Structure 1
Amino acid sequence: MKHLLSTTALVACGLAAAAPQAHAQSADRKWGISGYVSTLQYRGDLGRGYLNTKNNIYGGGLTLSRYLSKGLDINLSANQSVLRYPSDGVGFTPSGNRFDANISSFGLGFKLKLNNGWAIKEDAVVQPYILLQPGYSYIYTHRSDNFSTVNQNSNYGSFDAQGALGLTFRITPGFSLFAQAGQHVLFSDDARLDGVAGIGGDGFFNKYDQYLQFSAGFTANLGSTPDTDGDGVNDNKDKCPGTPSGVKVDANGCPLDTDGDGVADYQDKCPDVKGLAALQGCPDADGDGVADNDDKCPNTPAGIRVDASGCPLDADNDGVADNLDKCPNTPAGVKVDANGCPLDRDGDGVPDYQDRCPDRAGPASNKGCPEIKAEDKKVLNEATKYINFDFNKATLKPSSYPKLQQMVKILNDYPDYSMSIAGHTDSKGADNFNLGLSYERANTARTYLLSKGIAADRIEARGYGETHPIATNDTEAGRALNRRVDFDPYLTGETNAAEVKYGPAPTITEIKAAGKPVPTRANKVVPKKASMKRKAPMKRK
């Protein structure tokens, strides 16, 4: 029977491998065959021989392993070993017993690998693991009794469970060494590893015979090594496994790089001259980011931004490169000086393209135009008091001329300004009559200014009739104030000053341009709708 068990164990070894399991298998090499030597140490009914290395007896086994994932391998194992106690095989225990056991064990193991990528790198040199292996053992035991001089033989089978810790030492992708320590427990009510049944005492570790197995060996990993990119270099040696088809490679499987600039020849536009990866392997002598063969300004100083042609950038397209441009954000079309700044002919700090008066200095608050002096403003503000007309007429009184002449001088002194003339009346009389009278008086003042050489496009006249009183119309004094002509200067091109003050009303020029008659007192008068009473005879204004 002993011979049969030994033979069976050897056959099993040809299919599998014992304790060490799948060592260093990988996704490329999924199968592994391990061979090892082992020694056993007893603990059971007759005593405890753990960690007693005196006269160790060695055995061995094989393992067939299969890679499942980065963290798990599975294996079939077979082991043939001899265990004896006492370990010298000569003496007896205090109870007068000794035994020799021939153990053939078989197991299906699950190896939990710590080199799973998150704990330790999968290709680490040292790879810890945990083995959990249920199995079955055939045991042939010879026990001797010193007191009765009895020799007793027994053989039986028992379920076997092993838990082990081990280290794999990766030598190459296809070869590794390992060392492992495991605890075996034989689960059988009449387990007689030592030839004695059930005299060990109470408790789990006293009820079942046990032994430690220390193993060391090697693993050969099997499986073809692919050449995924088909470049003639196997993946396990290929340092550039994703090389495109047809690209020439070196002994490491990497694309050729003739000029040694780090850019493979098949991607290098300048394969014979060292260059930059960012420029597809071409040089950039001035370091502006444009390859020399595309650079129209190859000697641009360092640090200067350039355009696609390699020339200094002119972001605002004003003809002055950014590195020389002190005003790099000039709007398109604006004329600039040698520094790239907008022209300012009058030197008032307001560039010509924003300056309403580019040839006369003025503050930015007045759009670059000269401000009217305080004394001239006073003349204009008081003009309405001194411009008088004959009663109920649009005829200027001679007393008005000196003040009008002052306004002529002001307009000549400030050629960038225009004048708004707005006529007003009190509420006496019909609306249309008052509107016509206000237009006629404004136009009379305008005509005088035109006669003194003021350009027609600088004088705007309009009438508001009785719509904008500045005092009550219930008293004569109030009505006298409401009968007035206002003179307001404004920068030519800006909104008419009268329109800003009183709202829109057509100017005489606009009315004529539209082909309509200018309102006059002779136009048909539409009675006011505010009162149905008969109106008193109109007093002269």
Structure 2
Amino acid sequence: MLPRIPLSKALALGVSAWALAPLASHAQTADRKTAIGINVSAMQYKGNFGSDYWNWSENKYAPGITISQYLSKGLDLQLSGNYVEFKKTAPAGNPYYGSNFATNVVNVNLGLKFKLLKEESFIRPYLLAAPGWTYTSREGTIFRNNQTNNTDQDKSYFDLFGAAGLSFRLGDAVSLFVQTGQHIPLNANIDGVQTRDDNKWDDKFLQHTVGLNVALGKVKDEDNDGVPDRKDKCPGTPAGVAVDANGCPLDGDGDGVPDYQDKCPTEKGLANLEGCPDRDGDGIRDSEDKCPDTPGKAELQGCPDADNDGVIDQNDKCPNTPGGVKVDASGCPVDTDGDGVPDYQDRCPNRPGPASNKGCPEMKIEEKKRLQEATKYIQFEFNKATLKPISFPTLDGLVQILNDYPDYFLGISAHADNVGNDDYNLRLSDERAASARAYMLRKGIPADRIVSHGYGESKPIAPNTTELVVPSTAA
């Protein structure tokens, strides 16, 4: 005889199934094809002692276990086993009134589960066709025609079993299922009555079940984002990145830049700006653009500079400064000496002077007069380029003027009369101009501030009867 299992232990098996739920990580799918289920069933007998179908007060509770193997999206192979003890006394009015039985029943069934809807659905209806084996171990007594017969017997039968159920997806790990099915163990005798019908199913029973299925195995998920590789449309997602149901990184603002790379995750932006917007299209994200509605330059934090002087237009008081000109903070050309003539136009940028003289200080009247009279006092030895001593004071005066006006340059030109050979006169005048220049260079005037040139008799500046050395200045 099989041992009796009380209801309290059967319910404990159901509770233990709930405890197993957190241990799994995925429901039974193509990735994890094997599942174990633990369940509790309410069994309802029907036979010669009457029918308990749908009479919940006559339920006999039974623990059970299932092992399922995934075959396809719509089909599982399922092996199930149950144990129950049916006990009943024939009620008044029954031909076997007073008779009784206590029969242990073990069922093992193997069949196909036909699943409806998608794997991801919260509720999945299914049908189950699972023929199997039923073993009965009976103790009982039949009272009939004033006779008492003992009906003890152990026997096995072929079982026909079909059921319909609903599976509730509790998460990626576990599913809860409820089902109702009919067991017809062919030719079975659960109650011990020996008079049998010809249809072979006098005794049968309903099975109403609630249980949990827990998947086994490990799903292949190379990037560990919780989405199986076979469903992952974005394999290789970095560790710790939140993903959607397709395994792709979340993109809250829908701009095509995933949140974990998006510097502006709540605003639609551009991929080349790490997901940040750029209203004026100047390539500088709005959050860093001081002129977000006007195209500008990166080095000016997104603000425009039409004249390219480094001062943004809105702060530029001289917006049309020529290119390359040095400007101050207001965008105007620098005027170092403050004379109103910008340095780029000022011949003397470090000394104030009027614009009429290109920013250079004007020479004093007496000094201009000395320049004009210098031609009278620069004399040479006859037919030579040698300066006469009488010329020294005049040249010294010119040196002083150059020292007083460091921004000025001196040009010395020598002219000759029309006596003698033209080539000779040209050479002589050039040597005399160079001689005067050399004198002033010896007095410390930089060479680049004095130029000399001889013109001979080609450019007379007086009647062609004199020889002259003429100094001239320019800022």
- Give me the TM-score of the superposition, normalised by structure 2: 0.48
- Give me the TM-score of the superposition, normalised by structure 1: 0.42
